[in-house]
Amino acid sequence: MKTTGSRLWRLGPALGLLVLFASALAVTGCDDNFTTGAAAKLELSPDRFLFPRAQSGDVLVREVEVANGGAGTLKLIEFNRSSFDLDQFALEWFPGDDESQKSSVFPGVIDIEPDAHITLRLTYNPADSSGARGDVSFRSNDPNNGNVSIPISSPRGGAEIFVSPDSVSFGRVPAEASADETLTISNIGSEDLVFEAMVIGGSSDFSVWVNGVDVVADPSALVDPDGDGNPGLAPEGSFAAIVRYAPPTEGPDSGELIIRSNDANRAELVVPITANGAAPCISVSPPTLEFSAALVGRETVKPVTITSCGQEGLIVGNIRLSDDTAPAYTLVEDFELPLNLPGATPENQPTELIGINFRPEAEDAYGGRVIIESNDAATPSIEVPIVGRGTINECPVPGVAEDSYTVLPLDIVTLDASSSTDPDGSIAEYEWVVVERPAGSIAQPVESFFNPNQPADGGPRDNLSTPRAQFFVDLAGQYVVELRVTDNLDLAAPSEACPEPIARVEIMAEPNEDIHVQLVWNTPRDNNQGDDDGTDVDLHLLHPLGQRWSQAPLDCYFANKNPDWGPPGAVANPSLDIDDVNGGGPENINLDEPENTAALGAPYRIGVHYYRSESFLAGDYGTSTATLRIYLGGQLADEFERDLVATDNFWDVAGIEWTPGDRRVVAINRFWDDINDIP
């Protein structure tokens, strides 16, 4: 619960790589093997140059092997030695383990054949005991590791965290399976390392375990992670953290493990996590192809979607119906085998649709299977069951009592489907689906509201067996809600079997207040912005005579929802109608009959405060994007958007000038890291 005065605390790169190496060849000369079709794979062992504590006069040497685990020649170019202190570090290399060929001169291109390696040797002559940092960087023709950076670590004073490896990459993990990768977390500093939290950002399919405990759910496991009986991790101590991946569905995944500790130089360490990226991956949907009740003698076609969900290309070599499939099913053969789908990217997962035709000849049940074979090593053959039933059942007809409404924001609309009919049976289910809504709206049809006086709090899920539902119009703008009905024999309309008619309700929400301000926000790290745990962003409307934000009576906000601004007479007071505290919004402030801002000498001002970025359960959600819309006289006058990064960020968005002859929005767009820093 919010209280006043207190604080509750996932083609372009491939093209770029091609251009990069074309440039390199222009300098170093032509190499016929450079563009070989076989892929190289760069492997590092270890993945960094890690030096112990040292002082002036010491001479320390560390080596990293750069190996080629692929089938093509690995090429290294553009070694950069400007990213570390040349007075303290000296870099050399030699092929394999042959130190007799050691050299500090790096040619334009270093070739590494399959199953071979070179050795990078780094010599450290510390100037003092303060420690040093840097990295050895170069480029390679590994399609998955074009820009390579090998960190250099030398301990400094205090606690210092070191995590190996510095990223986690899972191979191919099928849906509903799981896999583990181990991180070694060490303290290379001189004082105890104390952990505040470990949280997972991004996909919720990842988790992290220490000593058999999910530390996101139970952070107490981090108090003594190495089990030596003392809080924290002692200098030179280490422990294992298990990153677990358990995907419910196919496809690439990404996330990050965020480790917070008392390391003064790296208070928040982020370990990137990727999965299902490198190998070919196939995803097929739906898992079962259901025709339900199809009309006898009529063809009904439904698709099976094949998706390439890995970074490498997917090759589908065979698609067929099993021998025991009923003759009523046939493949719509408008494709050629093999199907070649390119590798997936975060922005695009290539797909192919395969049609299955169902023509029942009798009122009977029909079964079968679609068999799809591909180069996905984890699931080389996938079988999709097919079920269907022939019927002479006539289609149900959806109908709505009212097909259009013009309402005010925050009104409640009753959706009524009682006029729906079924010529030869009865309607079993009425489903209302929101197909269009204003950006930021989260309203859904419900059976009723927990509290009709506070519809923003929601209500029980709509009961599909009843024809009526309640809909809370949470934002200004246009909504379209479609009705889908199913009869007592599972025949649905609209559907492939019953394509018409389509029944829909159009709702136009138009504010009638002189000033209507609307705030919504989106927090990418919050995977469910409709649950009870999320970020809290607050909307403020400051009177022209107001001097400070969050100060009654001249700031209308969550702690002063219905202020009395006066003067006596017809001038109305503002009201904050919704205060959302768990992510997404909306929040609305309304004001009728504003005062003359020219006479008052200043405009009304609108502010946005990031009251809380922290989760109650899962750490800090981080950045949230706020969207503010301002309506004047019922019309959208302006819209603003900005990222809020952390708790107590404050955005002074805009002013509203209101005079007898004019009304307008004036952008201000001032930003403070902390509301308490505002003069």
Q: Please write the tens of the pLDDT for every residue from 282-309.
A: 989 999 999 877 888 888 899 999 999 8
Residues 435, 581, single domain; the answer is: no
Residue 142 lies inside a defined structural domain of this protein: yes
Residues 527, 667, single domain; the answer is: yes
pLDDT band at 95 (very low <50, low <70, confident <90, very high): very high
Q: How do beta strands 206-210 and 213-214 pair?
A: antiparallel
| CA-derived radius of gyration, the chain | 32
pLDDT at 32: 38
Cα–Cα dist 475/398, whole Å? 27
Q: In the block, which residue shows the tokens 């590798």?
A: 343
Residues 522, 662, single domain; the answer is: yes
**Closest by alpha carbon to 351, among 285, 277, 279?**
285
Q: In the block, which residue shows the tokens 């809020």?
A: 644
| DSSP states along 202-250 | E-TTEEEEETTEETTT-GGGGSSTT-SSSSSB-TT-EEEEEEEE--SS-
pLDDT at 279: 77
Of 527 and 338, more confident: 338
Residues 414, 311, single domain; the answer is: no
Asked which of 492, 509, 526 is the last residue of a domain, the reply is 509
pLDDT at 590: 92
Could you give the angle at the alpha carbon of 177 between the alpha carbons of 172 and 183, nearest 5°? Answer: 65
Cα–Cα dist 68/73, whole Å? 8
pLDDT band at 250 (very low <50, low <70, confident <90, very high): confident
Is the model's pLDDT at 278 over the cut of 80? no
Q: Which 3 state secondary structure label does DSSP give 604?
A: strand
| Alpha-carbon separation of residue 254 from 145, 311, 346, 527, 613 (angstroms) | 16, 13, 9, 13, 22
Percent of the chain past pLDDT 90, that is, above it, reads: 54
Asked which of 242, 275, 308 is the last residue of a domain, the reply is 275
| C-alpha neighbours within 13 Å on the C-beta side of residue 150 | 27
pLDDT at 455: 82
Q: Which 3 state secondary structure label does DSSP give 399?
A: coil
Residue 1 lies inside a defined structural domain of this protein: no
Query: Which residues, 6 or more positions from 343, have their beta carbon under 8 angstroms from its beta carbon?
Result: 280, 308, 310, 311, 312, 313, 314, 350
Residues 87, 31, single domain; the answer is: yes
pLDDT at 189: 76
Residues 289, 259, single domain; the answer is: no
In this prediction, residues 72-88 reach a mean pLDDT of 86
**CB 26: neighbour CB atoms within 10 A?**
9
pLDDT at 311: 79
The one-character DSSP state at 557 is B
Q: Which 3 state secondary structure label does DSSP give 47?
A: coil
The tally of domains found in the chain comes to 5
Of 25 and 250, more confident: 250
- For 385-418, how does the pLDDT look when each residue is reduced to its tens digit (9 = 90+)? 999 988 888 889 999 999 999 998 889 999 999 9
pLDDT at 277: 66
One-letter amino acid identity for 174?
Answer: P
Is the model's pLDDT at 27 over the cut of 50? no
In this prediction, residues 564-570 reach a mean pLDDT of 68
Q: In the block, which residue shows the tokens 């097919």?
A: 386
Q: Is 635 exposed, middle or buried (0-12, 13-18, 19+ CB in 10 A)?
A: exposed
Give the range among 115-119, 175-179, 286-290 with minimum mean pLDDT.
175-179
Residue 320 tokens read as 């067929």
Q: Which 3 state secondary structure label does DSSP give 522?
A: strand
pLDDT band at 26 (very low <50, low <70, confident <90, very high): very low
Domain CATH code at residue 628: 2.60.60.30
Could you give the angle at the alpha carbon of 263 between the alpha carbons of 260 and 267, nearest 5°? Answer: 40
Could you give the angle at the alpha carbon of 372 between the alpha carbons of 370 and 373, nearest 5°? Answer: 150
Residues 137, 196, single domain; the answer is: no
* Residue ranges in 251-360 assigned as alpha helix (H): none
Q: How do beta strands 289-295 and 381-391 pair?
A: parallel
One-letter amino acid identity for 414?
Answer: T
In this structure, the chain runs to a length of 679
Is the model's pLDDT at 318 over the cut of 50? yes
Query: With contact defined as beta carbons under 8 Å apart, do 459 and 448 qualify?
Result: yes
pLDDT at 571: 62
Backbone angles phi, psi at 289, to 5 degrees: -90, 110
Is the model's pLDDT at 352 over the cut of 90? yes
In this prediction, residues 426-449 reach a mean pLDDT of 92
Is the model's pLDDT at 98 over the cut of 90? yes
| Alpha-carbon separation of residue 149 from 44, 144, 614 (angstroms) | 10, 13, 33
In this prediction, residues 650-678 reach a mean pLDDT of 94
Residue 3 lies inside a defined structural domain of this protein: no
**CB 514: neighbour CB atoms within 10 A?**
18
Is the model's pLDDT at 516 over the cut of 80? yes
Residues 538, 448, single domain; the answer is: no
pLDDT at 36: 43
Cα–Cα dist 503/485, whole Å? 10
**Closest by alpha carbon to 198, among 181, 185, 189?**
185
Can you say whether the dihedral through the CA atoms of 270, 622, 263, 90 is positive or negative?
positive
Q: Which 3 state secondary structure label does DSSP give 27?
A: helix
pLDDT at 224: 93
Residues 527, 657, single domain; the answer is: yes
Residues 94, 195, single domain; the answer is: no
Residues 655, 525, single domain; the answer is: yes
Is the model's pLDDT at 11 over the cut of 60? no
Mean pLDDT of the chain: 86
Cα–Cα dist 523/525, whole Å? 6
pLDDT band at 451 (very low <50, low <70, confident <90, very high): confident
Cα–Cα dist 594/665, whole Å? 14
pLDDT band at 15 (very low <50, low <70, confident <90, very high): very low
pLDDT at 9: 25
Cα–Cα dist 623/169, whole Å? 25
Q: Domain residues for 69?
A: 18-153
Is the model's pLDDT at 21 over the cut of 50? no
Residue 466 lies inside a defined structural domain of this protein: yes
Residues 221, 319, single domain; the answer is: no
Residue 493 lies inside a defined structural domain of this protein: yes
In this prediction, residues 252-270 reach a mean pLDDT of 88
**CB 348: neighbour CB atoms within 10 A?**
11
Residue 232 lies inside a defined structural domain of this protein: yes
Asked which of 474, 509, 544 is the last residue of a domain, the reply is 509
Cα–Cα dist 91/103, whole Å? 9
- For 568-623, how does the pLDDT look when each residue is reduced to its tens digit (9 = 90+)? 654 678 999 888 877 777 899 999 889 999 999 999 999 999 999 987 776 789 99
Residue 92 lies inside a defined structural domain of this protein: yes
Query: With contact defined as beta carbons under 8 Å apart, do 410 and 452 qualify?
Result: no
Residue 532 lies inside a defined structural domain of this protein: yes
Q: 89-98, 144-153, 585-594: which has the highest mean pLDDT?
A: 89-98
- For 466-500, how does the pLDDT look when each residue is reduced to its tens digit (9 = 90+)? 999 999 998 889 999 999 999 987 888 998 778 87
The one-character DSSP state at 456 is G
Cα–Cα dist 579/581, whole Å? 6
Domain CATH code at residue 294: 2.60.40.10
In this prediction, residues 179-196 reach a mean pLDDT of 89
Is the model's pLDDT at 260 over the cut of 60? yes
Cα–Cα dist 421/416, whole Å? 13
Q: In the block, which residue shows the tokens 């750490």?
A: 619
CA dihedral 44, 45, 51, 52 (to 10 degrees): 150
In this prediction, residues 237-242 reach a mean pLDDT of 93
pLDDT at 76: 94
